[in-house]
Amino acid sequence: MQRTERFIGFLASRQVAITLFLLLSIILVPTTITEQKEISLGWLPRLLFGGMALNLLLCTAQRIRTLARPVLVIHAGVLVVIIGATMTSFGYVETVNVHEGSSTPSAFRWDREADVPLGYDLAVRKIHKEYIPFDIQVGVFENGRRAGLYTVKTGGAFALGEYTVRVDALDLPEENLNLTVLRQGAVQGTWTSDGEGTLPEGFPYAFELVAYKTPVLTRMWVDLQLTRDGQVLAEGTAEVNGPFDWNGLRFYHTLSDYDLYGLPYAGIQIVKDPGRPAVYAGFVIVMAGAVFWMIRRFRKQRPPAPQTEGPKRA
């Protein structure tokens, strides 16, 4: 019986807690220095997380009558965080590059270092880019003769006789200029550098992209679609800090680029993190315990209110 009590006391000791923390730091710190993408850390970190949870649980149980309530709340929050971190170690990260308008049934899973089937088709329907408005020079021709050169920002417009020409967008790097022509507020048609405009026949003006300033990219996002056997499972948008959530998975848009043939593609990161809700819940509990502790500490340190004496009788 004494040996069991000593063993339990050893597991609940501060020395064991510090040792487990140092061992876990030795394992995890190198993963923050290197570009390690997997979140599945193997059996040893899971064992250490389990040891830390057991140490905290036993320590709390032994001192439950002497610990203040705020400290008990903080211990409970830390325990929930450790449980969440252990659950997270069973997750994974997958990455894949998908061309715009195409799909893929597999991705590279970093903990296995191999391509694995997704169980569905991941399609990138459209890659979107948003820039700070920048200057564009538009050349105007009237009946085949140069009629003027206009400098206007994207999203702006300029007057052209009885018409107003609005610069809708400049698609890069294709350098495809998109214009809308209006007359007294009514749309007359559109003009594009690639010849896909809708201006009526006999329209007297033609346009040309002359020059533009190098734009500053402010935002990128993609339209995603998940399908299986021709059935649409889910649709949504994803960006760097705004993932698309589906069925416990989070889809991040990590990059947009062009291949050797000039075709656009998007980098997609798929993350499964089952412990994420528990970790956030644990942090909330820890914060609540800390606030509770500060309130109690403040009340103890506040000096008592002075007592006033009543009128003395003669």
Both 73 and 110 in one domain: the answer is no
What distance lies between CA 212 and its chain's CA centroid?
32
For the beta carbon of residue 82, count every other beta carbon within 10 angstroms. Answer: 24
pLDDT range class, residue 48, cuts 50, 70, 90:
confident
Q: Which of 185, 212, 239 is the endpoint of a domain?
A: 212
What proportion of the chain, given as a percentage, has pLDDT over 70?
90
Torsion of CA 100, 103, 106, 107, to 10 degrees: 20
> What residue spans of the chain are helical by DSSP H?
2-11, 14-33, 43-62, 69-88, 276-301
pLDDT range class, residue 217, cuts 50, 70, 90:
confident
pLDDT range class, residue 265, cuts 50, 70, 90:
very high
Answer yes or no: is 138 within a domain.
yes
Task: Report the residue count for the chain.
Answer: 314
Answer yes or no: is 308 within a domain.
no
Average pLDDT over residues 276-296: 86
Higher pLDDT pick, 289 / 34: 289
116 with 104: CB under 8 angstroms? no
Both 124 and 223 in one domain: the answer is yes
Give the C-alpha separation, 125 to 235, whole Å: 10
Answer yes or no: is 313 within a domain.
no
**Residue 217: which H helix or E strand, with range?**
strand 217-228
Both 6 and 75 in one domain: the answer is yes
Check whether 107 has a pLDDT greater than 60: yes
Both 199 and 248 in one domain: the answer is no
Both 23 and 168 in one domain: the answer is no
Check whether 39 has a pLDDT greater than 70: no
Q: Which of 171, 192, 212 is the endpoint of a domain?
A: 212
Please state, in angstroms and as integers, the Cα–Cα distance from residue 116 to each residue in 72, 80, 113, 234, 256, following that order.
44, 32, 9, 20, 23
140 with 147: CB under 8 angstroms? yes
Answer yes or no: is 309 within a domain.
no
Both 110 and 151 in one domain: the answer is no
Closest to 138 measured CA to CA, from 193, 207, 213? 207
Averaged confidence pLDDT in the chain? 85
Residue 79 structural domain: 2-91+275-300
What's the CA angle centered on 234, arms 116 and 258, to 5 degrees?
60
Give the C-alpha separation, 101 to 129, whole Å: 16
* Structural domain count of the chain: 3
Q: Edge-to-edge strands of the sheet including 157-160?
A: 157-160, 163-171, 176-183, 186-192
- The dihedral sign for the CA sequence 146, 149, 153, 159: negative
pLDDT digits (tens, 9 = 90+) for 68-78: 888 888 888 88
Token pair, residue 175, equals 């350098």
Check whether 190 has a pLDDT greater than 60: yes
Q: Of the ranges 33-37, 118-122, 211-215, 235-239, which one carries the lowest mean pLDDT score?
A: 33-37
Check whether 28 has a pLDDT greater than 90: no
Q: Of the ranges 8-22, 143-157, 269-283, which one carries the lowest mean pLDDT score?
A: 8-22
Q: What is the pLDDT of residue 303?
A: 64
With 0-12 CB in 10 A as exposed, 13-18 as middle and 19+ as buried, what is 224?
buried
pLDDT range class, residue 42, cuts 50, 70, 90:
low
Average pLDDT over residues 273-283: 87
Check whether 164 has a pLDDT greater than 60: yes
Q: Of the ranges 41-45, 203-207, 213-217, 234-238, which one carries the lowest mean pLDDT score?
A: 41-45
Q: What is the pLDDT of residue 29?
A: 66
* Beta-bridge partner residues of 164: 159, 182
Q: Which of 182, 212, 242 is the endpoint of a domain?
A: 212
Q: What is the pLDDT of residue 32?
A: 58
Highest averaged pLDDT of the listed ranges 33-37, 192-196, 221-225, 290-294: 221-225
Higher pLDDT pick, 7 / 163: 163
Give the C-alpha separation, 214 to 192, whole Å: 20
Both 8 and 84 in one domain: the answer is yes
Both 70 and 19 in one domain: the answer is yes
Give the C-alpha separation, 161 to 150, whole Å: 13
110 with 177: CB under 8 angstroms? no
Q: What is the largest CA-CA distance in the chain?
A: 116
> Is residue 311 reached through a cis peptide bond, with omega within 30 degrees of 0 on the bond before it?
no
User: In this structure, what DSSP letter does residue 20 have?
Assistant: H
Check whether 312 has a pLDDT greater than 60: no
